[in-house]
Amino acid sequence: MSKIVDAKVIVTAPGRNYVTLKLTTADGVVGWGDATLNGRELAVASYLRDHICPLLIGRDSQRIEDTWQYLYKGAYWRRGPVTMTAIAAVDIALWDIKGKVAGLPVYQLLGGAARDGVLTYCHATGEDVPALLDDVAAHLDQGFLAIRAQASVPGVDKAYGVPAKGEFYEPASSAVPEEGHWDTESYLRHAPQVLGAVRERFGFDFHLLHDVHHRLTPIEAGRLGKDLEEHRMFWIEDPTPAEDQSAFRLIRDHTTTPIAVGEVFNSIWDCQQLITERLIDYIRTSVSHAGGITHLRRIFSLAELYGVRTGCHGAGDLSPISLSAALNVDLAVPNFGIQEYMGHTEQTAEVFRSGYTFANGYLHPSDEPGLGVWVDEEAAERFPYEPRYLPVNRRRDGSMHDW
């Protein structure tokens, strides 16, 4: 048994805010976990520092499942993004340690590679259609086989997912959330034309994805799905706010466009109905918000039973530790679908050193023992935390809209 002797929380902002957990064992083995919850970072940092780290000292680092159950059941208050992100960070760090102790990359501990590489989708954006088409062309040139396309919506001053020129996606930019506007009618008219323009210019030999970001009602989503059928989408993502799981029956009744949901979920219970009633095609839970590798695997196994494939969240607000962990799971699970890959800024890469590689549309995790990622703590200190929030969205009449 190798006891945990130190548990440290690192908050750093190289380009954007990240919370990292560092666990050290009596043998000097270090494990890294991602505890970042965009816009609510310090809540998780405190949950870890004040409530979890003291409980970890002296525990056997090798008993991952037991530690997971201890933290989940032991809290009494179950689930929720803060709790599950904190548990995820511990879990990811313990898998990292187990891999290092075994001298194997984590995917080997999960059963070994079930594929040669991890199919990856990138983001292409544009303030108008010509700019989007240029960005799609650039990503196809880089070798991507799957592209998520977002463009501005006429009448909407700041559209989610479309960075202003020269800005790195995405807009967690201000200490008080910026306010944008939303116009569903304009979006529903415009989105099929935009995605149609992408197909018209580049054809059908690559996967095309689109993120609706929870903004429609079920019947509006049914219409969008129907209007997009001719463009053969790989998926539309988060068509409606998914707290209402049964609402997806209505979308399904109207369209064969595949549906992906799950980045805001944090447990298997949040997607139970969507999966068991086959209301979605892809489950997008992330390793760092859904309880770590241990719980993500459980969700993916349930999904496998119902023919639902995986599509791990991989936005830039998840640190390279999360991406490394996700890639290890992606490589091993039988029902893998696709992995999101937004990339990270150079500043982020200065702090988080990772060994995953990208070639010809596929990512591959590092073959180093564990997760193959480490944090330069001195570099981390150079980037102090500053509060940064995602924008909010209002309709024309000033009322709040889902964003």
Residues that bind ligand GCO (CB under 6 A): 38, 170, 211, 213, 237, 263, 315, 317, 340
CA atoms within 13 A on the CB side of 399: 4
The closest of 104, 212, 227 to 149, measured between CA atoms, is 212
- Among ligand GCO, Mg ion, none, the one that 340 touches (CB under a kind-dependent 5 to 8 A) is ligand GCO
- Can you read off the two tokens belonging to residue 276? 């068991």
CB closer to Mg ion, 52 vs 318: 318
Question: What is the smallest separation between the CB atom of 186 and Mg ion, expressed in angstroms?
Answer: 20
Question: What is the smallest separation between the CB atom of 213 and ligand GCO, expressed in angstroms?
Answer: 6
What gap in Å lies between CA 382 and CA 386, rounded to an integer? 12
- Can you read off the two tokens belonging to residue 25? 């064992």
Q: Is 220 in the site for Mg ion (CB under 5 A)?
A: no
Question: What is the smallest separation between the CB atom of 273 and ligand GCO, expressed in angstroms?
Answer: 21
Number of CB atoms found within 10 A of residue 218's CB: 20
- Give me the 95-114 binding string for Mg ion, x by CB under 5 A, dash otherwise: --------------------
Phi, psi of 299 (to 5 degrees): -60, -45
CB closer to ligand GCO, 170 vs 227: 170
Amino acid at residue number 113: A
Q: Is 281 in the site for Mg ion (CB under 5 A)?
A: no
- Among ligand GCO, Mg ion, none, the one that 98 touches (CB under a kind-dependent 5 to 8 A) is none
Question: What is the smallest separation between the CB atom of 346 and Mg ion, expressed in angstroms?
Answer: 24
The closest of 262, 395, 257, 390 to 317, measured between CA atoms, is 390
Q: Is 211 in the site for Mg ion (CB under 5 A)?
A: yes
Number of CB atoms found within 10 A of residue 339's CB: 24
Q: Which stretch binds Mg ion (CB under 5 A): 133-141, 208-216, 265-273, 362-370?
A: 208-216
Task: Show which residues are catalytic.
Answer: 160, 213
CB closer to Mg ion, 84 vs 97: 84
Determine contact, residues 241/402, Cβ cutoff 8 Å: yes
CB closer to ligand GCO, 213 vs 252: 213
CB closer to Mg ion, 252 vs 284: 284
What gap in Å lies between CA 302 and CA 277, rounded to an integer? 12
What gap in Å lies between CA 28 and CA 46, rounded to an integer? 25
Which residue is closest to Mg ion by CB? 211
- Give me the 132-171 binding string for Mg ion, x by CB under 5 A, dash otherwise: ----------------------------------------
Question: What is the smallest separation between the CB atom of 19 and ligand GCO, expressed in angstroms?
Answer: 13
Concatenating the DSSP letter of every residue in 229-281 gives: GGG--SEEE--S-TT-GGGHHHHHHH--S-EEE-TT--SHHHHHHHHHTT--S
Residues near Mg ion, by CB under 5 A:
211
